[in-house]
């Protein structure tokens, strides 16, 4: 199993550009999510999905879009990049609460994004 | 809402010293509690977990006990090594079915010097 994979590892954008961060998992997990990590703030939830075709907003969703057309993939789209979106982005996945007694999440290696 | 308050860092210790990183939480219901570790340049890895009061999670010499009465989940290790240098995150999740959102603390950077 490859686990949770993310591409690209690094990206530099100019203000106003758009891009998609890719996330894929091969563990047949129902639940997938995107976090951003900023110094002194820990990780904050951007969007999440409990299954294909279902997405919902997390704590900091503004400026980001997601879709979940398959169980395996959960891309994060930046519509018009802003310097405030400079961060490290982590994708995570897990089984749903109906299958397990606890909610262990598996994280990808992250994408470091800089917006100039 | 849920929140996790974690000991401010950075923390610097000598090899073989005793480690404690404090973590307290606020939550409705009965959350599950976790410690995640992030080594330099990597993503987060689950270090240990506890799913109910008085449970003790342990892994790689680290331990933490779920204390409902003090709403705490402090991380401890009796003798740290240089390889333990990393950022440690305390986190909680609600155990409602279909809701696996994690709430993280701010992280504590630990540096172990030989």
Q: Do B42 and A109 touch (CB under 8 A)?
A: yes
The mean of the pLDDT values for chain B is 91
Choice between B9 and B81, residue whose per-residue pLDDT is larger: B81
Strands B11-14, B108-113: pairing is parallel
Q: Do A90 and B104 touch (CB under 8 A)?
A: no
Is pLDDT above 80 for B98? no
Distances (CA, A) of B59 to A38, A55, A103, B6, B75: 27, 34, 17, 20, 11
Sign, CA dihedral B71-A104-A49-A15, equals positive
DSSP conformational letter for A67:
-
pLDDT at A102: 57
Q: Distance (Å) from the C-alpha of residue A73 to the closest C-alpha of chain B?
A: 18
Angle at A106 between CA A71 and CA B105, to 5 degrees: 125
- Give the confidence band of B13 by pLDDT, cuts at 50, 70, 90: very high
């Amino acid at each position: 199993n490859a686990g949770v994979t993310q591409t690209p590892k690094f990206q530099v954008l100019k203000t106003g550009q758009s891009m998609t961060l890719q996330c894929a998992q091969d563990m047949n997990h129902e639940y997938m999510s995107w976090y951003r990590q900023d110094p002194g703030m820990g990780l904050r939830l951007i969007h999440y999905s409990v299954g294909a075709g279902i997405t919902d907003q997390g704590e900091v969703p503004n400026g980001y879009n997601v879709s979940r057309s398959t169980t395996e993939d959960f891309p994060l789209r930046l519509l018009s990049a802003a310097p405030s979106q400079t961060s490290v982005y982590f994708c995570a996945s897990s089984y749903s609460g109906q299958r397990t007694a606890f909610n262990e999440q598996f994280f990808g290696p992250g994408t470091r994004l800089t917006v100039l | 809402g849920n929140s996790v308050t974690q000991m401010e860092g950075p923390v610097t210790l000598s090899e073989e010293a005793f480690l404690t990183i404090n973590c307290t939480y606020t939550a409705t219901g009965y959350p599950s509690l976790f410690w995640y570790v992030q080594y330099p340049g990597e993503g987060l890895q689950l270090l240990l977990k506890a799913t109910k009061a008085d449970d003790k999670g342990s892994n790689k010499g680290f331990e933490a006990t779920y204390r409902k009465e003090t709403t705490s989940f402090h991380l401890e290790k009796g003798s740290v090594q240089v390889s333990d240098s990393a950022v440690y995150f305390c986190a909680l999740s609600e155990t409602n079915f279909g809701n696996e959102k994690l709430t993280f603390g701010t992280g504590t950077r630990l540096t172990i010097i030989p």
